[in-house]
Structure 1
Amino acid sequence: MPSISMFYGLIVYMYFMDRKQHKLPHIHVKYQDDEVVVQIPDGTVLEGSIPNSKMKLLQAWIELHRDELIADWALAVSGEQPYKIEPLR
């Protein structure tokens, strides 16, 4: 499960071959002891939660990097290493 970005305490992961549980393009995001699974490209929460202030930052980042996330998803589900994506600054 490679980390593809880190910012403001959020760590964004994309798992290899991860189509079974959610069947939709998504990312896993950890913040301290919390974890959320978020659909890409629209930012819909599929499972879990993180503090609202952090969720707003995450959704802004998803909006900025939508195309890169979709490209990384295609790589990850085919078993290839996804690229790192710039953090939110």
Structure 2
Amino acid sequence: MPTISAFYGILIRMYWDDHAPPHFHVTYGEYRAVYAIETLALLQGALPRRAHAMVLEWAAQHRAALMEDWELCANKQQPKPISPLV
């Protein structure tokens, strides 16, 4: 599972050939979560409130790049790195 971005201890990843809807996986310490790209809805898991807010802010800024990486992963190609939240 490629890591496409990392910031403040938060790792953003995507699986190759993952199931719909388009989404990304987040790891923050012992926490795990899955977010929909189109709506930024939390699909599974949980994060602490501050980490959740940072993930939402980052994803809102990079939604187009996330969809591009989703398509690359769906085609079993290496996704491109996405800039971290600064």
| Same-fold status (TM-score > 0.5) | yes
The answer to whether residue 54 in structure 2 is matched with residue 71 in structure 1 is no
Number of corresponding residues? 86
Structure 1 residue ranges, 4+ long, deviating more than 3 angstroms after superposition: none
Unaligned 5+ runs, structure 1: none
Unaligned 5+ runs, structure 2: none
User: Aligned to 2:56, what secondary structure does the other structure show?
Assistant: helix
* Distance in 2 of aligned mates of 1:42 and 1:32: 24
Counting only pairs closer than 5 Å after superposition, residues 40-59 of structure 1 correspond to structure 2 as 40-59=37-56
Superposed CA RMSD: 0.6
* Distance in 1 of aligned mates of 2:85 and 2:62: 10
* Distance in 2 of aligned mates of 1:13 and 1:76: 11
The one of 33, 36, 40 equivalent to 1:39 is: 36
* Distance in 1 of aligned mates of 2:25 and 2:7: 14
The answer to whether residue 84 in structure 2 is matched with residue 87 in structure 1 is yes
* Alignment check: 8 A CA contact 1:41 1:69 kept: no
TM-score by length of 2: 0.97
